[in-house]
Structure 1
Amino acid sequence: MRGKRYGYIRVSSTDQNEDRQKLAMAQVAVPEKDIYMDKQSGKDFERPQYKRLVKKLRPGDLLYILSIDRLGRNYEEIQTQWRVLTKEIGVDICVLDMPLLDTRNGKDLMGTFIADLVLQILSFVAQNERESIRKRQAQGIAAAKARGVHLGRPSSARPDNFSKIVRAWEAQKITFEEALHRSGLGQSTFYRRLREYRLEVGEERRK
């Protein structure tokens, strides 16, 4: 009995465009309902949609991914997951941009050897690329700090009516949620601005 077709898509937080992967799945006729997508890093396999997919897979099913780095960027984890999928569960995997990584072809010893060799090379390259990116990011951050560049999100300033909001909140005329809404600040930022405000008030009183 012929198995079902599934697709797996992953985009990282720095690469949110999944259109190319979706188009690739459509071209091999993977039903949209059988495409699972995670939007997170490929450093490990702690991904909710990937885990759901693995639970769905049955022997004889076919899993499509566009490229090996969409499966992951950790060399050892890619090797482990590939073995789990193909050996333990018994599914076929087709890596669309690398025809040699299609377990439906070359079921003989030579075909298996070539596929395993290509997998090892590509998964090593995927991890090496991730480590190179991380190293370049660290170097960039260090260089920026050396130049005195401030990194991270800009800090939210206190609104002009912050003192009025605080007094209303402290008098229990408004809720904390309403105070956050009126000030336009998040909870941690609100408390940080509140400490600054109280210090300023204290200094004014001591003058």
Structure 2
Amino acid sequence: MTTVLYARVSTADQTAAHQRTQAEQAGFTIDHVVTDEGVSGVTTKLADRPQGRRLFDMLRAGDVLVVRWIDRLGRNYNDVRETVAEFMKRGITVKTVINGMVFDGSTTDPMQQAVRDAMLSFMAAMGQAQAEATKLAQTAGIAHAKAQADQTAYRGRKPSFTRDQLTTVRDMNGSDASVSAIAKATGLTRQTVYRILEDEAEAEAVLARWS
């Protein structure tokens, strides 16, 4: 059995190394890391990404595919559902670092299958919804930062969080994780997590001002 971590890195603040560290801290022993950098999970299907295609070639029945969260596979509802279904059909188990979700095709019990498929659909839908919400927040944040820049060159205090940490805060908050759990996973203080969640548009604006 081979355990492969797939890391999709869409911004400069995200790193595959950070995603691997999170996986290992969660108890996974990673044999290989496959990374796509600078690739959108909204517009580009997994099978169309340079390294995403490798997964379909290298993974075999009995192998485990680890992702930080389902949204690393993509943020398109239909693509994510079809991708995970294809992996399960091939006997590949998909596991997430956050919340320790497990998706495999070994069960034949219809109720267990229904629960598994419902959870997958929910997570895929949430990934797309969060992507759309993030885009709106980014637009608002950039506009806010631009308006402030027109008034003054002062950028304020440098943000105490990165794009990767902001994304993780949103992901975990969307899955109803506690503030303490989010702080532990991201390495941020509880106060910083609270500030981000209270005003995501401002969090985006801070990053935009310092980008």
Shared fold, TM over 0.5? yes
C-alpha RMSD of the superposition: 2.6
The alpha-carbon deviation at position 17 of structure 1 amounts to 3.0
Question: Residue 19 of structure 2 corresponds to which residue in structure 1?
Answer: 21
**Structure 1 residues 96 and 110: CA distance shift in structure 2, 3 A:** farther
- Aligned residue pairs, count: 145
**Aligned 8 A contact 1:68 1:123 in 2:** yes
2:93–2:102 Cα contact (<8 Å) kept? no
Q: TM-score, normalised by structure 2?
A: 0.59
- Counterpart amino acid of 1:21? Q
Distance 2:61 2:68 in 1: 21
C-alpha separation between the residues in 2 aligned to 1:62 and 1:74?
22
Aligned to 1:138: 139
Pick from 72, 78, 84 the counterpart of residue 74 of structure 2.
72
Flag the 1:99–1:142 CA change in 2: closer, same or farther, 3 A.
closer
Alpha-carbon shift at residue 147 of structure 1 (Å): 7.1
CA 1:24–1:143 in 2, change beyond 3 Å: closer, same or farther? closer
Per-residue deviation, residues 18-51 of structure 1 (Å, max 9, x unmatched): 33421244331121xx210112322122321111
Deviates more, 1:131-140 or 1:115-124: 131-140
Unpaired segments of 5 or more residues in structure 1? 150-207
Match of 1:159 in 2: none
Contact 2:103 2:116 in 1 (8 A): yes
Query: Contact between 1:42 and 1:73, CA under 8 Å: does it hold in 2?
Result: yes
Higher RCO structure, 1 or 2 (CA under 8 Å, sep 6+): 2
- Secondary structure of 1:48's counterpart equals coil
Q: What CA deviation, in whole Å up to 9, does each residue of 1:75-127 have, x standing for no partner?
A: 1111111122112x331111232334332775522222111111111111111
Partner of 1:42: 41
Counterpart of 1:57 in structure 2 is 59
The aligned runs of 1:96-111 (5 Å cut-off) are 96-103=97-104, 106-111=107-112
1:124 paired residue number: 125
Quote the Cα distance in structure 2 between the aligned partners of 1:101 and 1:61.
13
| Structure 2: gaps spanning 5 or more residues | 151-211
Identical amino acids, percent of aligned pairs: 30
* Structure 2 match to 1:8: 6
Distance 1:65 1:103 in 2: 14
SS of 1:117's equivalent in the other structure is helix
Helix, strand or coil for the counterpart of 1:7? strand
Would the aligned equivalents of 1:100 and 1:114 in 2 still touch at CA under 8 Å?
no
Q: Which residue number in structure 1 is paired with residue 87 of structure 2?
A: 85
Q: TM-score, normalised by structure 1?
A: 0.60
Q: What is the one-letter code of the residue matched to 2:129?
A: N
Distance in 1, matches of 2:133 and 2:126, equals 10
Look at both structures and tell me which one has the larger radius of gyration over its CA atoms.
1
